[in-house]
């Protein structure tokens, strides 16, 4: 096998959180809703360009999310452009974030929480 890279991440959420998650990843992270096969369940495929990078679907069975439990995945990271525009957008939306600049490496990172309390990193090459 030759690994060509990460294809997508599947985020499963309770039904009442689905639209908030879609809105966050579209409005804040700038992904777009695109084609999703007719699985017979609610959900979205969210695209970066032509690649569906987030599969957003409904959590089956016990729909409670215990945020006190440790998470195995620490964060999801996206390579982005236009950091100043991103900061303006986050500020205008009133969202809390943490910015880390590494001038020697030529990168900046912004960390933000999605509605399900997942940490999302926006990674910028300066």
Q: What is the pLDDT of residue 27?
A: 95
Domain region containing 109: 9-60+74-125
Does the residue 117 lie in any domain? yes
Does the residue 19 lie in any domain? yes
Banded pLDDT at 99 (limits 50, 70, 90): very high
pLDDT greater at residue 39 or residue 32:
32
Give the 3-state secondary structure of residue 97.
Answer: coil
Report the distance separating Cα 45 and Cα 53, nearest Å. 7
pLDDT greater at residue 3 or residue 106:
106
Does the residue 68 lie in any domain? no
Does the residue 31 lie in any domain? yes
Report the distance separating Cα 56 and Cα 9, nearest Å. 8
Does the residue 66 lie in any domain? no
Does the residue 13 lie in any domain? yes
Does the residue 50 lie in any domain? yes
Number of structural domains (the chain) is: 1
> Domain with 112 in it: what CATH number?
3.10.180.10
Q: What is the pLDDT of residues 65-79, one digit of tens each?
A: 666 666 677 899 999
Does the residue 69 lie in any domain? no
- Whole-model pTM? 0.87
Q: Choose among 30, 45, 119: nearest CA to 81.
A: 30
Q: CA angle, corner 121, sides to 115 and 126, nearest 5? A: 145
């Amino acid at each position: 096998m030759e690994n060509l890279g990460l294809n997508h991440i599947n985020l499963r959420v309770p039904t009442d959180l689905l639209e908030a998650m879609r809105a966050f990843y579209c409005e804040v992270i700038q992904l777009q809703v695109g084609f999703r096969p007719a699985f017979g369940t609610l959900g979205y495929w969210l695209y970066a360009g032509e690649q569906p990078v987030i599969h957003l679907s409904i959590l089956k069975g016990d729909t409670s999310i215990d945020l006190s439990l440790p998470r195995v995945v620490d964060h999801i990271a996206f390579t982005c452009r236009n950091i100043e525009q991103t900061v303006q957008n986050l500020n205008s939306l009133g969202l809390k974030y943490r910015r880390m600049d590494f001038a020697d490496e030529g990168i900046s990172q912004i960390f933000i929480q999605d509605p399900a309390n997942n940490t999302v990193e926006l990674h910028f090459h300066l």
